[in-house]
Amino acid sequence: MTRPKRESHSRTIGDQTLHPESLMMGYGYRPELSEGSIKPPLFLTSTFVFETAEEGKAFFELAYGLRKGDPGEEMGLIYSRLNNPNLEILEDRLTIWDGAEAAAVFESGMAAISTTLLSLLTPGDVVLFSEPVYGGTDFLLKHILPRYGIRPVGVLANGGTAAFEAALADHAIRDHLAVIYVETPANPTNALVDIAACAELAQRWSRPNKRVLLAVDNTFLGPLWQHPLRHGADIVLYSATKYIGGHSDLIAGVALGSKAVIEPIKAFRTILGTMASPMTGWMLLRSLETLKLRMTSQMKNARYVADFLADHPKVERVYYLGHLPPDTPEHALYRRQCLAPGSIISFEIVGGEAEAFRFLN
């Protein structure tokens, strides 16, 4: 007696559409390929066996972008720098939260950001970015990319769309614009950038031979509380070390978007060797099963902490999305773009550096 092949990418049971948190339990995984194990095993292997040498040739041609796949053709398993079952299952599941077609997982958030930008930018290009951004990203933009003839142009996030418009008034910037890169909410101020407005700018200043892409670092709100692709972004980036991993026991990054955008990034990842390890992939699959529970609980607890800090006499200012004053442009943008305030809080201590160190110590 043979068992029927189990559908691994179904998002429904009968006429019932499954919620993302339910799909985190089994989506993209076929137990019959792994001795019936209810959970994906950890595939600690460097290399995979081909049925024939001809099959191996066909797989490598797809992996290195030497040809486009035939309809229905999928690249088989080759080498864990290129693909691995743990990473393929993980990437399938990650697409669900953001409504993406494809995902690429990396060994760190900075690996995701640097691989993405290096795959999109060439000498002479301009990358227009919001400030502040995460320190590693800031260093990459200002000190690494210029070595390769790429010009970074920063605008203040709290300057609103007008700040981007002002920068693009310069022909030297807009005529060479290739990527708009925003981090929203910004690290560490929680400043918001209007994703839809930036998407409109990217579309407006695209040229017949150069489509301007919008990349959004969504780490601070995670896959639950903001969905940049739905507001016009082309690429969503995460440090998966934070909410997605959630246990302080791994480092990883993610890029999501359409297949057309993500496939060249994956090809670049193959050459740079920034693919996440099987162990990282396996651990992130574990983490995804509790993502909504963890992020919801963290958000509720953050509200108590933010309220406490806001009333404390030794705290000068609290940066928290849940405290945005109503009837302000920032609050209107928050209501339009975000689903919840998340759990990131930063604050300033009354005094200066000495007082801040005293508190931290």
Domain boundary among 232, 255, 288: 288
Note whether residue 47 is domain-resident: no
In this structure, the answer to whether residues 150 and 108 fall within a common structural domain is yes
In this structure, the answer to whether residues 216 and 355 fall within a common structural domain is no
pLDDT truncated to tens, each residue of the chain (361 aa)? 333 445 678 888 888 888 888 788 778 878 777 678 778 888 898 989 999 999 999 988 888 878 888 887 877 888 888 889 999 999 999 999 999 999 999 999 999 999 999 999 999 999 999 999 999 999 999 999 999 999 999 999 999 999 999 999 999 999 999 999 999 999 999 999 999 999 999 999 999 999 999 999 999 999 999 999 999 999 999 999 999 999 999 999 999 999 999 999 999 999 999 999 999 999 999 999 999 999 999 999 999 999 999 999 999 999 999 999 999 999 999 999 999 999 999 999 999 999 999 999 9
Domain that holds residue 189: 85-288
Nearest to 9 by CA among 35, 29, 32: 29
pTM: 0.91
In this structure, the answer to whether residues 103 and 237 fall within a common structural domain is yes
In this structure, the answer to whether residues 98 and 180 fall within a common structural domain is yes
Note whether residue 241 is domain-resident: yes
- 182/273 Cα distance (integer angstroms): 25
Q: How many CA atoms lie within 13 A of 221 on its CB side?
A: 28
Note whether residue 243 is domain-resident: yes
Note whether residue 153 is domain-resident: yes
179's CB contacts (< 8 A; 6+ apart) are 117, 120, 121, 125, 127, 128, 212, 213, 214, 215
Domain boundary among 229, 262, 288: 288
> Which residues are registered as beta bridge partners of 348?
317
Note whether residue 91 is domain-resident: yes
Note whether residue 21 is domain-resident: no
CATH (domain of 335)? 3.90.1150.10
In this structure, the answer to whether residues 159 and 252 fall within a common structural domain is yes
In this structure, the answer to whether residues 232 and 186 fall within a common structural domain is yes
Total domains in the fold of the chain: 2
**pLDDT number for residue 270:** 92
In this structure, the answer to whether residues 177 and 304 fall within a common structural domain is no
**pLDDT number for residue 318:** 98
In this structure, the answer to whether residues 121 and 228 fall within a common structural domain is yes
**pLDDT number for residue 6:** 52
In this structure, the answer to whether residues 324 and 181 fall within a common structural domain is no
Q: Compute CA 212 distance to the chain's CA centroid, rounded to the nearest angstrom.
A: 18
Domain boundary among 288, 312, 344: 288
In this structure, the answer to whether residues 202 and 317 fall within a common structural domain is no
Note whether residue 199 is domain-resident: yes
In this structure, the answer to whether residues 201 and 225 fall within a common structural domain is yes
**pLDDT number for residue 283:** 97
Nearest to 28 by CA among 214, 247, 284: 284
In this structure, the answer to whether residues 303 and 261 fall within a common structural domain is no
Note whether residue 3 is domain-resident: no
137's CB contacts (< 8 A; 6+ apart) are 110, 113, 183, 217
> Which residues are registered as beta bridge partners of 319?
346
327's CB contacts (< 8 A; 6+ apart) are none
Amino acid, res. 346 = S
Nearest to 27 by CA among 14, 36, 15, 40: 40
